Amino acid sequence: MKVGVIGVGQTKFGEHWDKSLKNLIQEAGLAAVNDSGMDKERIDGIFVGNMAAGTFSSQEHLGALTADWLGLTGRPAVRCESACSSGANAFRQAYMAVKSGEHEAAIVVGVEKMTDVRTDSALTSLMGAGDAEWETPIGLTFTGLYALMARAHMNLFNTTREQMALVSVTNHRHGLKNPYAQFRKEITVGDVLQSSMIADPLGVLDCSPLTDGAASVIIASESFIKNNGFAKEPVWILGSHAATDTIAFHDRHSLTEMRSVKLAAKNALEKSGTSLNKINLLEVHDCFSINEIVCLEDTGFCEKGKGGRMVERQEITKDGSIPTNIEGGLKSIGHPVGATGVRQIVDITRQLREEGFNQVNGAERAMAVNVGGIGASAVAHVLSKNL
């Protein structure tokens, strides 16, 4: 059974001191309902992506909460947690449920409210995505872990700080026109190199921010879509896959590779019947600048060790060979960890509908890759404007 995206919505990403977790869920969810043009009573399944509402917002039981605040009580609702890939995993669970025939139309909401706690508390919560027995007690943060990956990549492949800085520069430029982005500000390589060092070699402008926000999509079966005649053409989900790796970074067979990304991307492509050279739009996880470089390599868009040079050649820009994070990525848009994977689908859907804020001409097929932790989990999806 074919499954399509029929509605998308999101909040602005940023620091929302005047909005609660409930408010964010409601705003994004109802925006997706309005975008779809459907009667929300036709939704028969609810899937929520969230990492740490219990520690960030003192709120658990998000499935029921979401059903309540969207006026959809009575439907089955479930929360999906997979660190920073929670949103993509919620989308994948909804996709499989609709594809199986269990649901006709489902809503997916990814959400996180991260700024209501102190920064040190937020960082401690985020390290729950790593190894709490071996990594957290020695003071490692995810910036520290990705700094280890960056340093290994630099030593093995001569990747430069300037190449990593160009990831941030490019994504900030992409996000300038995005009204939902947390940071709509152009930066230079010099700005990145001179920014405060967080964990050598990563400065603050190599890092995605703490963010509040929510994103939502509505998906439905092909028969439901055809029988209800929606005004907007659906964007079709051609393939989906998820993969995992060791939770501890020191247990990996390579410090410069994310095996979960390789497996998720490869299998999503195979399931979609699509070859890599037919993907002309890419969303990857740039929580830190090195992560985008490694994702470009591990998805197969360049050879291992050549991601920095690919960025330097401007191949990821709007006019490049594979426009990547074209609406700003995590770096410019922000990274409410449970929402990012859903936001990627929202941005791809807008692009394939030709409604993008930074529209790529002629985009037909796209891939989204959402990473949890430092690659302990990853989820990939392939979408198309045509079946």
| pTM for the predicted model, two decimal places | 0.97
Domains within the chain, CATH numbers bracketed: 3-118+210-235 (3.40.47.10), 130-208+238-384 (3.40.47.10)
How far apart (Å, rounded) are the C-alpha atoms in residues 53 and 63?
A: 12
Q: Are 380 and 367 in contact (CB under 8 A)?
A: yes
Give the CA angle between residues 30, 32, 34 to the nearest 5°. 70
In order along its 387 residues, the chain shows pLDDT tens digits of: 899 999 999 999 999 999 999 999 999 999 999 999 999 999 999 999 999 999 999 999 999 999 999 999 999 999 999 999 999 999 999 999 999 999 999 999 999 999 998 888 888 888 899 999 999 889 899 999 999 999 999 999 999 999 999 999 999 999 999 999 999 999 999 999 999 999 999 999 999 999 999 999 999 999 999 999 888 999 999 999 999 999 999 999 999 999 999 999 999 999 999 999 999 999 999 999 999 999 999 999 999 999 999 999 999 999 999 999 999 999 999 999 999 999 999 999 999 999 999 999 999 999 999 999 999 999 999 999 998
Tokens (6 digits) for 260:
């979960």
Give the closest residue to 348 by CA, choosing from 205, 228, 238.
Answer: 238
Find the Cα–Cα–Cα–Cα dihedral 12, 75, 241, 290, rounded to 10°: 20
The string of pLDDT tens digits covering residues 41-65 is 999 999 999 999 999 999 999 999 9
Give the closest residue to 26 by CA, choosing from 45, 40, 6.
Answer: 40
Cβ count near 257 (within 10 Å): 19
Q: Any idea which residues carry the catalytic annotation?
A: 84, 335
Q: For CA atoms 145, 151, 153, 159, give the dihedral sign.
A: positive
